[in-house]
Structure formats: structure tokens, C-alpha cells
Chain A
């Protein structure tokens, strides 16, 4: 479980996060949504320790990450998997080497054991016969799957995804969404996803947090988001006519 309390973060005179409180439970797909510039990326980068909070705490199963000793921090890092917006694969390494990299760095497994594990996670993300390919030879969706494989290869307790669907066609986006949800469920990982994709919000959002101007504006489930009267959320989520119709149809159905 991740507990965020009164999180503040700014850059120079610009205050990006203005006191966010949130709790993320294991086995749940938690989504962070909000307009561009609302602070989503800064929030997720603060959670994974790339930004140091100015005020507030982030506790991972009761352990506050800013109070870690070097060894505890190292241990905590290995409990984290991160899927970056652009996949962030090492472009000079093959798919196999990318996924094997954390194992080589932090485990004492034999080459054979590492290869078994790599093949297992690549199969898990439904990527076959791509071990020897370079990232540049893969499609965007395949790169995302490699990034997910690399993120879960160390059996993380916490999985973070920054816009995992950006730049993907709707069909591939659904595949990636389902994959993240399955993995979350299967390994009981605490998953936090930043997204703009309304399909993800409605399909896999077991818990949704809406950020506006660096503050938590709304919190609920994908079911709640159909019913909410919060103007900012409705404006953001149901910005297209199609989504408005989807909402209306859902509300009519549940009446």
C-alpha cells in the first residue's frame, strides 16, 4: 500500500503539487487523471523518488521513502517497476538484454536462470521471437510490452506507468491496459497509472484520482465517474460528444 500525505512539490517559483493526499491499495489499478499541466507526471515522479517532495510524506507499506538509509533505498528501488511514457528502453541493447538488465545488475542468478526469467516475462506480455531485436525494430505497442516486461522482471511490489497508452492505436491501447490490469491482479501489485486515455479510465480504473492545478479535485471508481456531478471531472472526462452519449447511455441503463 502507498500512502501519500500532504505532498508538495515546486520548481523555483512554480508550485506544481499543492498538498495531495492519496492511498493506493495492492491488487488495484489506480489511475491519476487530469489535464496537461495538472501535475500528474510530477506526482508520479515524486512517488518513484525522481523528485524530492518539499513537504509531505510518501509511505510504502509504512516505510517513508525520504527517511530510507542507502541500503533501504536500494532495496526499495528493486521493489519498484516503472513504465515510462516513451518506454525508455536502452536503444543500444536488444529486447533480451533490456529485460535482463535489472537481473544482471541486482541478482546473482546464472545466465540460464536469467534467460528463463526473461523468456517467462516476455511470454507473459505476449511477446515472442523478439529477444534479439533492437527497440528501434519494434512497433510502439511492442516497445511498451518490453517496457512492462522489464518493469515486472524483478517481481515488483509497486508498478508505476506514465501514460502507457500514449501514441498507441485504440486496439493496442486496450491490449496494454488489459495486460497491466491482469498483471496487477495476478501478482497483487500496487499499480499507479498516469493517463489521458478515457477508455482506460472507464475500463480499468478501479480507483481514479483527478488532479487539477496540483490539487486532488476528485476521487472515486470508474462507476462513480459516470455519476459524478463534479463539473471539472465531467468537463474533462466527457469532453467529446461520443463520451457524453456513453455516459448518458450508462446512466439510463443503471436507472
Chain B
């Protein structure tokens, strides 16, 4: 199947996903379960990675700014900009594409190969709406919180790195992060997060839903879904940056 066919099939899938849920009570239960599975269970890894990467960004910046005419507050400023603009929304989304994307593809793919999706269809249930819509809405709802938390922890990680290493003073770092604050940059980060969250839920769902074969096919689809989600996040990142910041 060529790329054009895949793109067409993906959009046809979306047209079946975005329909009215057959039972709102069941939909709400599924949504809350997805918030837990796709969001809350990713809190740990995002907190851990954000804290340490924030520390590394601050240390790298400090080590590269050895000119005495450049104030130390620039370290905080640079770390804040890097974390809010790029690290938190994009880097964290790529990590989530790996963790959550493979989970979505393998769970839906297993349902496909064990005929659970056929069972839903035979009962008269729109299986795409039933399985995918709660995932899409859960990621769109929860990932902005997750990424915002990643921003805070990344910036805090930078401050902690300065404190432990002694490369820069905490006061200068705090002055730096308050310098030239532009709220639009936060909006830009959240807009990117929403688009990435949509891709993280829908692309792996597509790979899982249309899988053919057995367990090896599910494994292969999981890998492909992570690769394609990452590629699409990188492309979307470029397009959004050009559209919103230039």
C-alpha cells in the first residue's frame, strides 16, 4: 500500500472516530480510564526526564557561557526558553510517542488479532469511536498538564544543577527565568502539545486497528507506529514553529 492510500485510510478512520458516542456513561468511564492509562501513568517518566534534562540544559549553557561580560542570569533565561519552547513540548512528546504509542498500538492490535474488534462490530458498536475517541480526548485533555509540569520541573532541575555544581548562583538563575517573559511562548508550547497529543493518540491507533496477522505483526506495527508518530511530530513541530513564530 502506498503512502497516499495510508493517508486516505487514516482520514477515513478519523471520520469514523469523531462521531457521537453511543452511550455517554460508558464513554465517560472509558475516557477516565484512558486519562489514567495514557496520562497519569506517564507522570513519573515525564517528571524524571524533565528534571534531569533541565539540569543538563542549565549546566551546558553555563559551561558554554564563559565570557565574563555575559551575565549569569542569561543561563536561567536560556534554560527557560529552551525548556518552554522545545524541550517540554517536543522532547516530552517524542518520549510519550514511544511509551504511549506502543501501548496504544499493541492493545488495539491485540484486540484486532483476537477478534475483539470484530465482536464489537457484530454487536453494532462503532469500534473506532468506542476505542479511539476516548484516547484522543484523554491525551488532548491531559498532555497540556503533563507538559506544563515538565516545564516547571525542567526549570527547577536547572536551578538544582546550579546549586549542586556551584557553576552559577541560584539568584542569578531566578532573575534569568523572569527576564523578558512572553506569554505567547507558553501558548505556542501548548498549541504544539495539543497537536502532538492528537498525533500520539491517532497514529498508533491507526497502526493497531488495521494490523493483519498475529503477534509478530502486532510487534511490527508497534515499532512502525512509534517511528511514524515521531516523524510526524518532528514535521508538525517545524510547520507550527514556522507558522506561529516567524
Contact = CB atoms under 8 A, between A and B. Distances in A.
A binds B: yes
Interface of A: 45, 48-50, 73-74, 76-78, 80, 82, 84-86, 88-91, 101-102, 104-106
Interface of B: 22-23, 25-26, 110, 114-116, 118-119, 121-125
Contacts, number: 48
A73 B124 contact: yes
B82 to A, nearest CB: 40
A105 B116 CA distance: 16
Nearest to B107: A92
Given A48-B122, A84-B119, A105 B114 contact: no
A33 B50 CA distance: 60
Contact of B115 (A49, A84, A105): A84
B239 to A, nearest CB: 37
A106 B123 CA distance: 9
Given A88-B114, A88-B115, A88-B116, A82 B22 contact: no
A88 B118 contact: yes
A145 to B, nearest CB: 16
A85 B115 contact: yes
A76 B122 CA distance: 10
7 contacts: A45-B118, A50-B122, A74-B124, A82-B119, A85-B115, A88-B115, A105-B26
Contacts of B25: 104
A49 B116 CA distance: 15
Contact of A49 (B22, B26, B122): B122
Contact of A106 (B118, B121, B124): B124
A166 to B, nearest CB: 12
B208 to A, nearest CB: 15
Contacts of B122: 48-50, 77, 80, 82
Contacts of A78: 123-124
